[in-house]
Structures are given as structure tokens and as C-alpha cells.
Amino acid sequence: MEHTLVLIKPDVVKMNSIGVILSEYEKAGLKIEALKMLKMTKELAAKHYAEHIGKPYYAKLVDFMISGPLVALVLSGENAINEVRKINGATNPVNAEPNTIRAKFATDSTLNAVHASDCIENARREINLFFLADELMYNL
């Protein structure tokens, strides 16, 4: 069983479309193991997006991510990381397959509706940034 972190970004929360996004993951057979709404701080953004610090888009990304509440969740399932990334679609919504989350909800490569872990190591790191051990319904 694989676990992955998903962030439903502030743009989707503002659209009042959290439930639609959650439904997409559940329809695909993924299980929600943890879920909460929070407001990202600059400090949390710096930890989460550490590999992007210094890149031209970093400030815009952080400003967007701290602009309003987001929903953090942990999903589990067989090959969960790749399944979630397939459901989400390409980072740039212009390149996203039709009917993916980003094709339906994203407006550009920063305001792209959702974040998902890209590998097992990053999933573990990211999950631990957003959730305490007693908030998880499984053991990492």
C-alpha cells in the first residue's frame, strides 16, 4: 500500500469545489487516510517548496499558497502516487488530459488546483510536514 500527500490549493477552496476533488480520488479507489484544512505559512511553504527557493516563480507560488485556506490530505492505494498524478493531470493545465482535475479547475501552472507528491521519499517528507503521527490513520 502506497501513501501520498495531496494539497487542494486555495483557488479550488475559493471555488467551493473541495468535495468534487475528493470524489475524484475516491471514485478511483483511493482511500483518504488523513484530512484537514489549514492556512499555509511562509515558513511551511519554504519547507514544502525548498527545492524551488531562488527560482523565478518561487515568490508567486508562495504568495498564492499562503493567500487562503487549503486542504491537506493523505491518500492510500496501490500505486497511489502515480494514480493521483494521473487523476490530477499535467502541472500546466494547457497540457493536462481532458477530465483531469487540472484540466477542469486550473488556470495556470501556479494556480493549478492541486499538489501531489512525486515519489515515495517526497511523499513521506511532505506528509510529515503537514500531519502529526497521531493524525494519520496508518503507520508510515
Which residues form the catalytic set?
115
85 in a known ligand binding site:
yes
Place of cell 517548496: 49
Cβ-Cβ contacts under 8 Å for 63 (sequence gap 6 or more): none
Q: Given its phi and psi angles, is residue 48 left (phi above 0), alpha (psi -120 to 50 degrees) or beta?
A: alpha
- Residue 91 annotated as binding? yes
- Does 57 carry a binding-site annotation? yes
State yes or no: 110 annotated in a binding site: no
If DSSP codes are grouped into helix, strand and coil, which group holds residue 68? coil
- The CA distances from residue 132 to 17, 34, 74, 104, in Å, are 26, 10, 12, 32
- What is the spatial distance between Cα 10 and Cα 26, in angstroms, rounded to a whole number? 21
Q: Is 14 left (phi over 0), alpha (psi -120 to 50) or beta?
A: alpha
Per the annotation, binding residues are 9, 57, 85, 91, 102, 112
Annotated binding site for ATP: 9, 57, 85, 91, 102, 112
